[in-house]
Amino acid sequence: MIRIICVDADDTLWHNMRHFNAALQAFQALLLPFAEASVTQAALDEAENRNRHAYGYGAKGFTLAMIETAMEVAGDAFSRDLVAHILDAGRMLLTHPVELFDGIDHTLRALKERGDLILVTKGDLLHQETKLAASGLGDLFTGVEIASDKTEQTFQRLFAKYDVAPGECIMAGDSMRSDVLAPLNAGAWAAYIPQEGAWAHEVVEGPGEQRRFRQLSKLSELVGWIDEINRTASSN
């Protein structure tokens, strides 16, 4: 039986990548005098990968990576104006309105009837807490777990904290690496709800067909799958 239901935040409950993609396009346009967009993109990807252990995930790390990339791409032409424009883009990422996906409130209430809801997300602690508060969804969650990354060990710690067996936990989100493979490897169930524009770092090969994994088109479909899992468990 499923006892705890873990859900991701960014691009599972509310829109996120559309704002990052807008900032990225503005950044590439800003550096067009110095490099083509593809060159800027490659340099930015490298900076993010190189510094993820130090900057982490989220808008602040992305902004620092943009500044570092601009220094590399613009060279001697790097200026205070460039930094100012990049910082403006970073502030927009930190302050944009929270836009929920359609029907999220209703879906979470239906899920809450089937187990304790736990928000499991990664990124900057203050920014994620701010977005959750602005979403109006906070009261629906029994617990909130904001991690620097989501790994197999993250879920093992979660099982211990909430005193559940791995098979009593299900995780749903848009990242194959973080929201599917990590909980599956820890022994939980996992639902993949893909969204457009995923981070390249998160795009990995899926687990293939297996009992504890399912791809869904939207979060509301998780309700039916949990009911199916619980019926099977009750009959055994």
Q: How many residues does the chain have?
A: 236
Read off the tokens for 152.
């197999």
For the cut 80, the answer to whether the pLDDT of residue 199 exceeds it is: no
Give Cα 194 to chain centroid, integer Å. Answer: 11
Read off the tokens for 158.
């979660």
Fold classification of 17-95 (topology level): DNA polymerase; domain 1 (1.10.150)
- For 168-198, the pLDDT digits (tens) are 999 999 999 999 999 999 999 999 999 876 6
State the Cα torsion 125-174-212-155 to the nearest 10°: -10
- pLDDT at site 209: 81
- For 138-163, the pLDDT digits (tens) are 999 999 999 988 999 999 999 999 99
For the cut 70, the answer to whether the pLDDT of residue 136 exceeds it is: yes
Fold classification of 4-15+99-235 (topology level): Rossmann fold (3.40.50)
Query: What are the residue boundaries of the structural domains of the chain, listed by start?
Result: 4-15+99-235, 17-95
| 122-to-18, 67, 105, 192 alpha-carbon distances in Å | 18, 22, 21, 16
Average pLDDT over residues 206-222: 93
- For 98-112, the pLDDT digits (tens) are 999 999 999 999 999
Read off the tokens for 129.
């807490």
This prediction's pTM? 0.88
